[in-house]
């Protein structure tokens, strides 16, 4: 029968899992920021095009 790992190992495993969850959440946020940036850039391009057409 295997014994349970020492407490420090369990703590490290929990910390690593928590860090992975935070990293995954950050990746989602970064993807959202990138999409928002593309949307803003597209809208700015449209505004510049409209402003350029007016005399």
The whole-model pTM stands at: 0.65
Could you give the CA distance from residue 47 to residue 54 in angstroms, rounded to a whole number? Answer: 11
List the domain boundaries for the chain.
1-38
1-39 residue pLDDT tens = 678 999 999 999 999 999 999 999 999 999 999 999 999
Which residues, 6 or more positions from 13, have their beta carbon under 8 angstroms from its beta carbon?
Answer: 5
């Amino acid at each position: 029968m295997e014994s349970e790992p020492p407490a420090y190992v369990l703590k490290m495993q929990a910390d690593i899992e928590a860090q992975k969850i935070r990293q995954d959440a950050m990746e989602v946020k970064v993807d959202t920021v990138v999409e928002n940036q593309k949307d803003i850039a597209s809208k700015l391009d449209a505004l510049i095009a409209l402003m350029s057409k007016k005399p």
